[in-house]
Structure 1
Amino acid sequence: MIKIMFVCHGNICRSPMAEFIMKKLVADSGLSDRVSIDSSATSTEELGNPVYPPARSELAKHGIGCGGKFAVQLRKSDYDKYDLFIGMDTANILNMNRIFGSDSDGKIYKLLTFAGRGDDVSDPWYSRDFGKAYSDIDEGCRGLLNYIMEERL
């Protein structure tokens, strides 16, 4: 079982979008029994809050539900529980390294590297462009799925 943790600042927009996009891609590929997917926040600002309504609406436009998801915080102890930690932007990567103390096993990646890009998934909380965030996250998740199928399964 490969365990993936998507990470963003508050766990109400980008990382839950990635969690549920990836869950759908994995299910559509028949790999749900081989890949486990979660998401979390590097901050405490939104803990316990549901997925932000515009993010939930964007997912729904693509036939993806996210009911029952509430923001949780990434913990140092998560490092040993997951195989991959996928951040949405450079700040997420820095904060994951701070929380974990290091990335001694090379588990931390930025999502869009799996799409052959080095840029960040812009935060729709600020940009208000949930469609662009969805598109970028979907592209990154498709690349991540290919990576998992070629390198990890």
Structure 2
Amino acid sequence: MIKILFVCHGNICRSPMAEFVMKKMVRDLRAVIQSNTSLTAADFEIASAATSTEEIGNPVYPPARRMLASHGIDCSGKTARQMTVADYNHYDYIVLMDQNNLRNLRWILPRDIYERELDQARDVRDTHDGKVSLLMDWAGKSRDVADPWYTGDFEATWRDVNEGCKAMLQSICK
């Protein structure tokens, strides 16, 4: 089982978009990665969480929900929750949307784990041994996923999430 947790600040925009985009991609796995991998959707566990407590219990933000729906993706029933140390122990990949999320992990993870992950999250393309990474690093881009909470540009976030998820999935399925 390949377990992926996507994380953003509030778990109402970017990380749920990544969660549901990745779920769709693994359902369409062979077409997305253009490979005859033996992996199937049943081989994946995908979820999302927040670094903050601000939105706990709230549904996916309506514009994010509409963007997903416009691409045939249903996220109904998803509510925001905060990441825990148990999540860190459970998931194989903790995929963050931006540098602020990485800094905010210091309030969630034990100090020794946080410091090790901070060092290793810098570049997933090299000898990344940690669980924590930034989504756009998977696509070879050293930048944050566009944050629609501030920009209102959900299309840019959609593009970033798709690009990062596809690159991550291709890397995992090699």
- Name the TM tier (shorter chain): over 0.9
- 2:23 is matched with 23
Q: 1:123 aligns with which of 147, 152, 172?
A: 147
Query: What's the TM-score, normalizing by structure 1?
Result: 0.94
Q: Deviation at 1:19? A: 0.1
Local SS of the residue matching 1:139: helix
Local SS of the residue matching 1:33: helix
**Alpha-carbon distance in structure 2 between the residues aligned to 1:112 and 1:35:** 20
Q: Deviation at 1:129? A: 0.2
Local SS of the residue matching 2:17: helix
Q: 1:72 aligns with which of 81, 89, 102?
A: 81
Give yes or no for the alignment of 1:148 onto 2:172.
Answer: yes
What amino acid is the match of 1:122?
A
Q: Deviation at 1:97? A: 4.2
Query: What's the TM-score, normalizing by structure 2?
Result: 0.83
Query: In the TM superposition, what are the counterparts of 1:38-77 in structure 2 within 5 Å?
Result: 38-77=47-86
Q: Which runs of 5+ in 1 are unaligned?
A: none
Local SS of the residue matching 2:164: helix
**Alpha-carbon distance in structure 2 between the residues aligned to 1:114 and 1:149:** 13
Structure 1's consecutive aligned runs of 4 or more residues displaced over 6 angstroms after TM superposition are none
- 2:34 is matched with none
Q: Deviation at 1:122? A: 1.9
CA RMSD of aligned residues (A): 1.2
Higher-Rg structure is 2
**Alpha-carbon distance in structure 1 between the residues aligned to 2:92 and 2:134:** 14
Q: Deviation at 1:96? A: 2.2
